[in-house]
């Protein structure tokens, strides 16, 4: 993780998402990471969450047109 430039960390995280790289995604979160969705629901097991997500949306990709920090 790049502690000096959060933008680079976010771009790396997105690259892991676009490549469905579970190990890479896991390397950028803490063991006690909690994901909170837009409805306020929280999830603690992100590894299995990503595995499920990618199996349900196998062609999912994020494309950014602008990134700021």
Closest CA to 29 of 17, 19, 41, 18: 17
Distance CA 1, CA 14 (A): 13
**Is the pTM above the cut of 0.85?**
no
CB 19 within 8 A of CB 26: no
pLDDT tens, 2-61? 567 888 988 999 999 999 999 999 999 888 999 998 999 999 888 999 999 999 999 999
| All structural domains of the chain with their residue ranges | 6-56
Give, as one character, the DSSP assignment of residue 18. Answer: H
């Amino acid at each position: 993780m790049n502690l000096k430039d959060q933008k680079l960390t976010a771009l790396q995280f997105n690259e892991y998402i676009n490549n469905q790289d579970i190990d890479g995604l896991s390397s950028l979160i803490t063991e006690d990471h909690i994901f909170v969705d837009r409805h306020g629901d929280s999830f603690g097991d992100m590894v299995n969450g990503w595995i499920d997500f990618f199996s349900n949306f196998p062609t999912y990709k994020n494309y950014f047109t602008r990134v700021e920090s």
